[in-house]
Structure 1
Amino acid sequence: MPKTDFLTSMESTVRTNSLYAWILAARPKTLTGASVPVMIGTAMAFKDGGWENFQTIPALLCFLFAFIMQIDANFVNDYFDCLKGNDDSSTRLGPKRACSEGWITLPAMRTGLLITTLLACIAGLPLIYYGGWEMILIGALCVLFCFLYTTKLSYLGLGDVLVLVFFGIVPVCLTYYVILPHGLQAITWQVLLASVACGLVIDTLLIVNNYRDRENDKRDGKITLVVRIGEKRTEWLYLWLGILGFIIIAFLFISEGTKYSSCSVLMLVYFNLHKTTQGKMKRIKQGKELNNILGETARNMFIFGLLTTIGILISAI
């Protein structure tokens, strides 16, 4: 049986509010996007502080917080898009959603939202010890914008800005900050640049998602950046987001000196994969086949994070 037929068969037998239904709603594949900025921030902290100043517990807490917040964001998206009627199975091009398919009831999802939000707060609370009371404000903003993205901001074309901030700048810089001990926590320009590169590359995932859904979004009044700039400009934007991410990280490696400049060659693997995927995206243009491009983009994004992390660690030796 083909893989797609097998998955369809499995989904057709999902029991309401079952464990399998919750796993589908959590969208485990999206956790790679949550891990990439924490990986990069952790590597930068190790490079600048060394083993003697590296604190393992806050690093683990950052990974845990990021994973739970990603699941929370997926639940928010599932619940509120169902309420708005944006996940109609007859017109939806992306993967099926739990609430709209009846796998999870709306009251159960409200409970799930409450639990995951509380768990994220519990996971993030100990970071106060490592980063100070300002961690409360940062955590509160993460939770707030997790809800505002689906309910308001994505309809105004601001989703890409949120990705840059909350999947790039905030998690990379915050991870770096809390891992290092007091006195070594100053955010360097290298860390800030790495966080921007991370946000740009992760935004390619949102771009291709909205590129696939552009006609449905336009119909539903969801004015994403893709809807605003159109098909052709989006294809170029997707390409250049990845190229800029590649250039920034390559520059950071080169700036470490001749000894480490060879690390920039690692990023050519990502560059070639990204360019190839963009070519496929341009050929496909529309329809459910773009889900394959979404999968390739997620793969490329994780490879970018992995290669960047490896390069940073090599430069630390």
Structure 2
Amino acid sequence: MATLSEWSAGARPRTLPMAVCPVLIGAAAAFASPAELRLALLLGITALALVVSLALQVGVNYANDYSDGVRGTDDVRVGPMRLTASGAARPGQVKAAAFLSFGIAGIAGLVIVLVTAQWWMLAVGAVCVLAAWWYTGGSKPYGYLGLGEVMVFIFFGLVATLGTTYAVLAAAEAQDGFPWVAASIGAVSHGLIASALLMANNVRDIPTDRESGKMTLAVRLGDTKARWAYVVMVAAAVLLPLWMLMDNPWVVFVALSWALAVPPAQRILNQQHTGPALIPVLQQTGSLGLVFAITYSLALLIGA
């Protein structure tokens, strides 16, 4: 029987800040829009969106633990301990934890739909849950086909960020004033950072993934190209907000994140760093994502 600390580790808490970032950016974009919003309403919808994002992240982490564990992909681990592969928890228990997390996300999402009366968002939520499960679950998981980064960009970048902005504005019946430029740039930038984080993780796991038949994008690109793909994604993410500089000079705040982008880029480009030596890149990329989200959100709010 897994201990509480092992279940907590299985939820991969270090990935959770990346689930907070799109909600933070999306809420800031909504609050910075010309629409008149009640603070309590903004905070309420934002809190619900945060529950959705965090629960989906925990759910996909447990689902990944379960699916890779039963497939044998995690039999030789480079990263942190996995509940299923280590035998700390039975596969059925880990699967149940994943679906419990998805259920929590679904309940919070349903409340958002009821408040905003945007019923089409139910379909979006259902697709998000299916995407979370099919990352490594099902008969043909897309994570094994090299599509992991693409889906992370779409769901934890575009959908999570733009969805938060839309939900907040819809609750105030102000969705017609959707701030497309500010929200979209934030969504794309965060999506790129989140995808870069997954790329770094997959670069670390290239040897074991190739051996187990998990054809991630990093495996398909090869070690060198995958490392450069990480650098390109991070660079594009932190530079993209400069597009808004003429309209909102406060976006210079994101320059604070540039310094954080250099160490992980240097480390991952050094091909002597393999396996566990790439774990600092994951940690540094997570910090970069959080600082970017905070500085970009502040720029939107101050420049409103």
Q: Structure 1 length normalisation: TM-score? A: 0.88
- Quote the Cα distance in structure 2 between the aligned partners of 1:293 and 1:273: 11
Change (3 A) 1:233 1:183: same
Report the counterpart of residue 63 of structure 1 in structure 2. Answer: 50
Choose from 16, 24, 28 the match for 1:43: 28
In 2, the alpha carbon distance for the partners of 1:47 and 1:239 equals 30
Corresponding residue SS for 1:104 = coil
Deviates more, 1:64-73 or 1:274-283: 274-283
Pick one of 238, 243, 246 that aligns with 1:251: 243
1:126 to 111, 115, 131: 111
Tell me which residue corresponds to 1:175.
164
For 1:74, the equivalent position in structure 2 comes to 61
| TM value normalised by structure 2 | 0.91
Q: Find out whether 1:143 has 2:129 as its counterpart.
A: yes
| 1:267 maps to 2:254 | yes
Q: 1:98 & 1:81 partners in 2: Cα distance?
A: 11
Cα pair 2:209 2:216 within 8 Å, conserved: yes
* Number of residues of Structure 1 aligned to a counterpart in Structure 2: 294
Residue 51 of structure 1: how far off its partner (Å): 5.9
> For the aligned residues, what is the CA RMSD?
1.7
Question: How many Å separate the matches in 2 of 1:116 and 1:41?
Answer: 22
Q: Secondary structure at the match of 2:276?
A: coil
Q: Residue type of the partner of 2:147?
A: L
Identity %: 30
Runs of 5+ in structure 1 lacking a partner?
Answer: 1-15
Q: Partner letter of residue 255 of structure 2?
A: L
CA contact (8 A) 2:61 2:98 kept: no
Q: Name 1:84's counterpart in structure 2.
A: 71
Q: CA deviation at 1:265?
A: 2.7
Please give the alpha-carbon distance, in whole angstroms, between the structure 2 residues aligned to 1:265 and 1:183: 28
8 A contact 1:17–1:108 mirrored in 2: no
Amino acid at match of 2:293: G
Kindly indicate whether residue 22 of structure 2 is the aligned counterpart of residue 32 of structure 1.
Answer: no
Structure 2 distance, partners of 1:27, 1:185, is: 38
Note the C-alpha offset of 1:209: 0.2
User: How far apart are the structure 1 equivalents of 2:117 and 2:229?
Assistant: 36
Note the 1:286-305 alignment, pairs <5 A. 286-305=274-293
Show the counterpart of 1:105: 90
Contact 2:30 2:168 in 1 (8 A): yes
Equivalent residues of 2:197, 2:285 under 8 A apart: yes
Q: How far apart in 2 are the matches of 1:65 and 1:196? A: 20
Partner of 1:5: none
Provide closer, same or farther for how the CA distance between residues 229 and 42 of structure 1 changes in structure 2, counting only shifts above 3 A.
same
Contact kept in structure 1, 2:31 and 2:37, CA below 8 Å? no
Deviation at 1:276, TM superposition (A): 2.2
Mark the runs of 5 or more structure 2 residues left unpaired by the alignment: none
Counterpart among 195, 198, 213 of residue 203 in structure 1: 195
Question: In the TM superposition, what is the alpha-carbon distance from 1:37 to its structure 2 partner?
Answer: 0.5
Counterparts of 1:140 and 1:210, CA distance in 2: 27
Shift of 1:131: 5.1
